[in-house]
Structures are given as C-alpha cells and as structure tokens.
Amino acid sequence: MPTNDLPQQEHSLPAATDGGGRVEIPIKVRIVGTPSGADLDRLTESVARAVAKQLRAARPAGLLFAAALSDVAEANVGAPPMPKKTVPQSIRTPRESDRPDTPGQSAGLGALGRVRHQAAKAATADEMSAAQADRNEIVAAAAAVLDARSAGIAEFVDSIAHQLKAITATADGEPLPAHLSVGMARILQRMVDKARQRQTEKPDFRIIQLTGKNGGHPSGGRLLDIDRYNGFRIDFQHGGEAVRAVTQFYADMLDVPLFGPPASGVTPVPVGTRFSLGLTRNPRMARTGANLDAADKRKRKYYDTSAPGHPILLPQFRYRDFFFPRETPQPHETKPPTMPGGGTIEGAISALAPQAKTIFERLQAGDTGGLLKSLFPDGVDHLHVQIEK
C-alpha cells in the first residue's frame, strides 16, 4: 500500500532536530596551529562544500533548498567574490556580531562559529578587565599621593591637588580626567612607597608640574617635574644634591639600593613602565646657547642682558657641570631630535660628568628590562620624567 514516507537513504547523515523545524548536523574539524581570519573563512567554505555533497547524496525533502544553494556556491568557486552590497539583505548570513548572546542563537552559529564567537567574547572581557585594572591603579595612586601630602611626605601646590582629587572623586562608570596615565600612576605610587620606607624628616619629594604639555600638545598624563627627591634639591646650584636625588629616583624605579647589593632573599620588582629622564643642566655660556636661555623668562635672571654682543652668564651662577656639559643641546634643538652621545642610552650615560656617569652605569647595567629609554638635558631646576611606550 502506498505511503507518504520517504524511502530510507543509503548515505544518511547523523542529525538532531530542535523541535522547531531545524536540523543540526554535527561536524568535527581539527585545527592545527593558529589560523588567521582568512584561513577560517576558507575552512568554513570547504566544510560547506563537503556537507553539500553529502546532502545531495542523502537529499531529504527538507534539505533540497540547502543543496540548491550549495550548487550555486560551487558553481562560483574560483570566481571573484560577490560584492557585499549585491547580496539581498533578506538572505544575508548573520554575522556573529549580529547575534544576541543567547544559548539558542549561539547554537545557530555552528561549531566553528561558536568557537569564533566565544573567542571574541573572551577578548572583549579581557580588554574590559585590563581597562578596569588600569583605572584602579590610577585612582589608587592619586589617593596615595594626596595622603602623602597630608602626612608631610610630599609637597605640591593646590592646583595639582585639585587634579588628583578630580580623579578620586570620579564615580564608577564615568571616564577619568586625563591627568594621569597608568604609567605615571605607577611612577607616583612607587615614589610614595619608597618615601614611606625612608621616613625622612623633611618632605621626601616635591612635584612642581603634573601632566603639562609635550611639544605643545596635551601629554595625556605622561609628564612629571620634581625639584626635590629623597629630601635632596634638584637644581644646577646644588649639583651634588641633584646627582644624589636623580640617581636615587632611578634606583627606586628599579627597586634596588643606590649603593650596595640588594638585601639577601629580596627580589627587586621594577616599576611596570618605561620612562625617559630630562636632567638638570647649567645655564649656557656660549653665544647660541646663552641667547636661547636668556630668552626664557625663567632663566633670564642668570644673565647680564645689557652686555653688547650676547647675554653674559653672571659670575655667581657659573657652577661646574654635574650631568651633561652645559652646551649640550636639548633634543628639540636638533633636527632630528637626538639624544646626547650618539642616540643610545649607553652613549648618553658616557657623556655625563664623572660622578653621575659612574652611578648611572652601575644602575643601567642592572636595568635588564630597559626601563630607562633615554637621557637628555632639560631645565635648570628640576628632574623631568616622561612616560614612554
């Protein structure tokens, strides 16, 4: 007696139905190595063609349309891909990003699609987690520096305090003010931690500028100027103190003693960011440098500008050099900008005066992570710290 049942197919495929008219066919794909996006796309097309051949052999009534579509796809193998705009929106295959993150729709992606979908989700989650960790570091460092000021460990003007308070007062979910980068937050946190360990009687460090501009553009919270560190003054009139302060700063960032080996059983933990240092420099005496320095209102007081020819450095400000020779040009005064000593950190250190050179060479030899990117002459009365990538 005739029936409406389809005959049993010789090449049947394992399948499962979800009860909604859809048939799922499990596919196992072994991937060796790390495929690119293009590799995955080619793999998807290859699997689709292989499944289509099986479907044509089985060809149950419910899959005739899918086989027909596959026939069209195979007929175009090797031809240039169709522009996306020529594919009717009504039959466009949904992208992973189009699909809500629900179990049913995740299942609809297929085995390979689910892997890619979950990988994209994990990457997004990692990015969000890293951003939150950076935010936490910035807020914690701002609070630590404010606490250090209250405890008499740090000094800075009220305008800097307002910048730091703006960070700590920002509600969760709101963007932080761009006063501190995460790299600068790590520098400041290390400064506070070391100052608390030293417990100096007078303020350990003094900040004279935070954030500021780099080349006329906002720094993004990557710049810091200090004129005191470890209780020592940083200016050209106190060269010995400046050398002690600057080298102590470098040692603290490396988490090593300035003199002598690390304590037994203690593993140094360098600060987690790269930086460059602009060192204190004496006012210049030669014509070109003197003209440049005397044109700066902060340095004009060191010169007799009434003398004919060019400004003359006053006798009471003629100190010996403790870092770079006074006539060494600053990087922005050369084209292209160049670090002293041939453009390498080793060359720059070799150009320093003997006392600073000896200490910097020893510290830099232990700087296996290359935290100190560059050294250059800067202002006459501070240490300039610049976060680098």
What pLDDT, on the 0 to 100 scale, is given for residue 70?
42
Cβ atoms of residues 236 and 280 within 8 Å: yes
Rounded to 10 deg, the angle between the 158-168 and 110-150 helix axes is 140
Beta strand ranges found along 199-244 (DSSP E): 205-210, 213-214, 217-218, 223-229, 232-233
What pLDDT, on the 0 to 100 scale, is given for residue 69?
42
What pLDDT, on the 0 to 100 scale, is given for residue 110?
61
* Tokens 């044509």 -> residue: 56
What pLDDT, on the 0 to 100 scale, is given for residue 299?
94
User: Which segments in the chain show pLDDT lower than 50?
Assistant: 1-12, 60-79, 82-100, 104, 215-217
CA–CA dist 234, 205 (Å, integer): 10
Q: What is the pLDDT of residues 53-73, one digit of tens each?
A: 665 655 544 444 444 444 434
Helix (H) or strand (E) holding 144: helix 110-150
DSSP state of 6: P
What pLDDT, on the 0 to 100 scale, is given for residue 342?
82
Q: What is the pLDDT of residues 172-205, one digit of tens each?
A: 889 998 889 999 999 999 999 999 999 877 899 9
pTM confidence score: 0.67
CA–CA dist 222, 210 (Å, integer): 8
DSSP state of 260: S
